[in-house]
Chains A and B, each alone.
Chain A
C-alpha cells in the first residue's frame, strides 16, 4: 500500500471544493479506500481525495488546479479494468463521472450516438438497439464498465474478429488536456484527415494524455439474425486449423471462441453441463447477418469443422439452445474464479495462425512452473486469456506466477504477437511494454507524453515502467 497518504494541501482542497461544491469533494478515509483499487488482483493504493465534477468546465478547472500544484489525477469509470489503470498508485485526485452520464444525442441520419463518459456501456448498446442500431464492442464488463473507461482502455470483446474493437467506433472526442484546454477531435464524419488523428491517439491512452469528457460513437445497422454452434475436438491443432480454415474460406464469424482442455475440465467440474473432459478443445462459433447468409455460412463452417476432424458439431435451433451451447464459455470465468481466492487473468495475443503454438507453449510454461493455467479466449483474434487461479498469500507461488507470465509474454511477442490484446498496459504490464515496442518505440511514446503532460499529472505511473518493477505487486 503506497500512494497518497499525504493529504492535499489546504489550498488545493479549498480550490477543488470551490469548483465542485462541498458535497462533490470527499477526502474521508472510507471514501478514499473504496477508490483505492480496481479489478486488478493484489493492487491497492489510496487517493488523497475523490471529486465528482458535473460538467466539462468543472473538469477543466480541476485539471488546471492539479496542474498548477502538480497533483496526480486519475479518471475512473466503474473500476473494472485488469491492468491497474485506475489504481491511484501515486495518490492524488480520483475523478468520478457519476454526473456526466447522459446520452446526449442519437443521430439516425449520421448513425452516431453522442455520450458523456459516465454512461454504462450496456446502456449505449440498448439505446442503439432500440432504434435498430448496433454498437458492437462487448467486453466482459459490459454491464458495469463506463463508456469513458472502455475508450481509455480501448476495450475489445467477443465480437472483435468481425466488428473490431472500441477504437473502430470512436469518431469524435471532447478532451480536457493536461493544461486545462478543452479540445474537440473528429466529428460525425466518415472521413476526416484534418491533421494528426488525435481521436485515435486518445483512444487507449489510459487517462495519461487527457480526460475524455464527451464522445461521438459510430453505430451500424443491427444484424437481422444470429446462429450459434459448438464444436468439440480431440486435437488442439485440429481446432486451431479449423479457425484458420474458416477464415481462409472468406467467412468472418461474429464469434470464434476457444476453450482448452484445462478450462473444459474446470468448467465441467463446476457446472456439470456434459462437456467431455477428454476433449482437447472446444470452439464456440456464432454468425450473424441476413438469414440466407447466416445459414450458408453456418453450413460451410460445419463442413470445415468436420473436415478438420471435430468429434462433435452441434447447432442451436432455438434461443434457449444457443444459450445452452454458449454456457461453457459463459461460465469459464466463474468456474475459474471459484477455484482459488486470487485469479490472475491475462490477455496475451498472437496472429491467429500461431494459436496452437501459443496454447501449447502456455501449457508447457504452466507445467514448468507447476501452476494451473487455463486458457480460453477469442481464437479468431488470436486473443487468449491464460488464467491462473492462485492465492496472493502464497508469496512463493506468486513469484512463480510472475515468472510464468513473463515467459508467456515473451513467447507471444516472439510469435509476432503482443503483451496485451485488450486489457491495456496500466501498471501491470508496464514492465513488458519494451518487449513489444523496443526502446525506440517507448521513446516515441514518452516524447508524446512529455509534450502534452510535462508535469506528469495525468494518471502517473501507468504505461511506462519504473525500473525493476515487478508485474505482481505483493503488498502487505
Chain B
C-alpha cells in the first residue's frame, strides 16, 4: 500500500523531476502499440502500452490522477524492452522516462520489510561487489558439484518452488570453480596481426555464472586480432539498479566503471551482454547533469560496442573458417542489444557465415522473450505468457539451436526449452559460445 502522504510526495516529485518536454513529445499517435509486448499480451489494454503509461505519468504530473496502485501496476508490468522507441516517429525517450518514474516511486515508498531486505541485499550488498558475486555464484557451483543438486532434485525439494523457478534452477549453467573465477587474466595478446586494442567489459553475472562465455569472448577477440585489456577494478554496469528504481546506485557504479576504463587508451570497450552494453551506453544520460562526470561519461559511451559488431567489422567471419554439423539455427534478439545498441544484423551475419548450419529467421525474433532482467521472477505470469508465444515461433523454425546475445535471454530460452520438454531436440546458447564451437571444428 502507498499511504496518502507518500502519494503526495510522489506527485510532487513527478512534477519536479519528469521532463516536461519528453512528456509532451509523445503525440499519442499510437505507433508504439503494435510493438509493445505487454499491450498485446494484456489483451490490448491501453494502460499496459507505452502511450498509456506516458499518459499516466503526465496525468500524475498534471494532477489528474494519483500515483495509486493501478498506476504502479502499469509501470511495473512494463518489460523495459523499449521496442516502442524504435517505432516512435517523435523519438520519445520512453526508457529514460520509465527509469525516472520508477525511481521516484521506489525512493519515496516504504516497502514491506521482506521487500526492503531483498532490495537492499541485491542492490547494495551484492551486485556492486564483484567478489561477493563470485562467492554467491561459487555457492551455486558448490551446490551443483557437491551432489546437493542431485539430492535436492531426487527428494523433490524443488517441487515447492513455482514452476518457472524450478525450471530456472534446472537450466543454470554449470558454473566455474571459485579458483577459476578468481584467476582472471588482465591482459591478453592478439593471435596473428593486431587489428585493435580493446577493453573487455566482463560484467558481474557474466564473469561469475557465465564465465565460460567470457572466456569464449576473449578467445574470439584474440582470433579477430584484438589486444585485450580487462581492467580489474571494473564493476557491475548498474542496469538492474537503473531499471528497478535505484538510480543513485547506478550512478555510483557508472562512475566506478568510467574511472576503470578511461585511461586504457583503447579503440573500443567490448561487451557480450546486450543488457549491460545498453546500460553502459546510457551512462552519459544518467550523468548528464553532473558537471564533473558528464564529459567523461560521453567519452566512455562512444567506445561501447557489442562483440558481434567488432567481429563483423574486422571480417572475422571471412578470416576464420566457421563450421558446424548440419543443423538449423535461429536467433532471438536481445531487446537492449537491438533497440538500444542498434545491433541486429551483425549477429545474424555471423550466424549465416557458419558452414554446415542453416540459419532460419524466427518470426517476431525482435519481440521480447519475457526475461527482462529479473522480470521473469517478479512478473512471472506475464513473462511465461510471452515465453509461450516465443516457443511457438521457435518450434516453427525447426531449429536445433536457439542463439541469444544476453545472459537473461539465454536463461529464459533454456527455461522455455525445458518447459516445452524439448531439451533433447533443442538447445539455447550464447552467440560467442556457438561461434567458438564453430571455430574449433
| Residues on B with beta carbons closer than 8 Å to the beta carbon of A38 | 28
Query: Contacts A29-B68, A30-B74; is A35 near B46 (CB within 8 Å)?
Result: yes
| Residues on B with beta carbons closer than 8 Å to the beta carbon of A46 | 64
Which A residues, 76 to 133, have Cβ-Cβ distances below 8 Å to chain B?
78-80, 96, 98, 120
Interface residues on B, range: 20 to 34
Cα A120 to Cα B35 with chains together (Å): 13
A144 and B30 contacting across the interface, CB-CB below 8 Å: yes
1/0 per residue, CB under 8 A from B, across A1-17: the answer is 10000000000000000
Cβ of B7 to closest chain A Cβ, rounded Å: 12
Of A1, A79, A337, which is within 8 A of B90 by CB? A337
B21 and A31 contacting across the interface, CB-CB below 8 Å: no
Query: Contacts A1-B64, A35-B46; is A30 near B28 (CB within 8 Å)?
Result: no
| Interface status of B287 (Cβ within 8 A of chain A) | no
A34 and B46 contacting across the interface, CB-CB below 8 Å: yes
| Residues on A with beta carbons closer than 8 Å to the beta carbon of B24 | 341-342, 391-393
| Interface status of B111 (Cβ within 8 A of chain A) | no
| Interface status of A41 (Cβ within 8 A of chain B) | yes
A144 and B33 contacting across the interface, CB-CB below 8 Å: yes
Cβ contacts A to B, 15 pairs, < 8 Å: A30-B68, A30-B70, A30-B74, A34-B49, A34-B52, A34-B56, A36-B55, A37-B55, A79-B30, A144-B30, A333-B89, A334-B91, A338-B89, A343-B90, A393-B24
1/0 per residue, CB under 8 A from B, across A21-45: the answer is 0000000111101111111110000
| Interface status of A143 (Cβ within 8 A of chain B) | yes
5 shortest A-B CB distances, which residue pairs? A341-B24, A30-B70, A334-B89, A34-B46, A34-B52
Closest A residue, CB atoms, query B54: A34
A143 and B27 contacting across the interface, CB-CB below 8 Å: no
Which B residues, 66 to 123, have Cβ-Cβ distances below 8 Å to chain A?
66, 68, 70-71, 74, 89-91
Closest A residue, CB atoms, query B66: A29
Cβ of B388 to closest chain A Cβ, rounded Å: 20
- Partner-B contacts on A (CB < 8 A): 1, 28-31, 33-41, 46, 78-80, 96, 98, 120, 141, 143-144, 333-334, 337-338, 341-343, 391-393
B25 and A341 contacting across the interface, CB-CB below 8 Å: yes
| Residues on A with beta carbons closer than 8 Å to the beta carbon of B143 | none
| Interface status of B34 (Cβ within 8 A of chain A) | yes
| Residues on A with beta carbons closer than 8 Å to the beta carbon of B74 | 30
Which B residues, 1 to 40, have Cβ-Cβ distances below 8 Å to chain A?
20-21, 24-25, 27-31, 33-34
Closest B residue, CB atoms, query A99: B43
Cβ of A227 to closest chain B Cβ, rounded Å: 27
Cα A391 to Cα B20 with chains together (Å): 12
Cβ of A55 to closest chain B Cβ, rounded Å: 16
| Interface status of B47 (Cβ within 8 A of chain A) | yes
| Residues on A with beta carbons closer than 8 Å to the beta carbon of B59 | 30, 33
Cα A356 to Cα B293 with chains together (Å): 54
B47 and A30 contacting across the interface, CB-CB below 8 Å: yes
| Interface status of B151 (Cβ within 8 A of chain A) | no
Query: Contacts A37-B55, A341-B21; is A78 near B33 (CB within 8 Å)?
Result: yes
B55 and A33 contacting across the interface, CB-CB below 8 Å: yes
Query: Contacts A29-B68, A33-B64, A34-B47; is A78 near B55 (CB within 8 Å)?
Result: no
Closest B residue, CB atoms, query A38: B28
| Residues on A with beta carbons closer than 8 Å to the beta carbon of B43 | 98
| Interface status of B65 (Cβ within 8 A of chain A) | yes
| Residues on A with beta carbons closer than 8 Å to the beta carbon of B157 | none
Cα A141 to Cα B59 with chains together (Å): 25
| Residues on A with beta carbons closer than 8 Å to the beta carbon of B28 | 37-40, 79
| Residues on B with beta carbons closer than 8 Å to the beta carbon of A40 | 28
Closest A residue, CB atoms, query B33: A144
| Residues on A with beta carbons closer than 8 Å to the beta carbon of B66 | 29
Cα A405 to Cα B90 with chains together (Å): 22
Cα A146 to Cα B59 with chains together (Å): 26
Of A30, A37, A341, which is within 8 A of B71 by CB? A30
B34 and A33 contacting across the interface, CB-CB below 8 Å: no
Cβ of A33 to closest chain B Cβ, rounded Å: 5
| Residues on B with beta carbons closer than 8 Å to the beta carbon of A343 | 27, 90
Closest A residue, CB atoms, query B46: A34
A337 and B89 contacting across the interface, CB-CB below 8 Å: yes
Cβ of B364 to closest chain A Cβ, rounded Å: 14
| Residues on B with beta carbons closer than 8 Å to the beta carbon of A37 | 28, 55
Of A31, A98, A334, which is within 8 A of B47 by CB? A31
Of B21, B44, B65, which is within 8 A of A33 by CB? B65
| Residues on A with beta carbons closer than 8 Å to the beta carbon of B71 | 30
Closest B residue, CB atoms, query A96: B44
Cα A391 to Cα B89 with chains together (Å): 17
Cα A28 to Cα B52 with chains together (Å): 14
A30 and B30 contacting across the interface, CB-CB below 8 Å: no
A31 and B70 contacting across the interface, CB-CB below 8 Å: yes
Cβ of B55 to closest chain A Cβ, rounded Å: 6
Cα A38 to Cα B30 with chains together (Å): 8
| Residues on A with beta carbons closer than 8 Å to the beta carbon of B21 | 341
B90 and A338 contacting across the interface, CB-CB below 8 Å: yes
Query: Contacts A30-B70, A37-B28, A338-B90; is A79 near B46 (CB within 8 Å)?
Result: yes
Cβ of A216 to closest chain B Cβ, rounded Å: 24
Cα A38 to Cα B28 with chains together (Å): 7
Cα A39 to Cα B88 with chains together (Å): 13
| Residues on A with beta carbons closer than 8 Å to the beta carbon of B70 | 28-31
Closest B residue, CB atoms, query A118: B44
Most buried by A among B30, B52, B55: B30
Closest A residue, CB atoms, query B22: A341
Cα A29 to Cα B66 with chains together (Å): 8
B56 and A30 contacting across the interface, CB-CB below 8 Å: yes
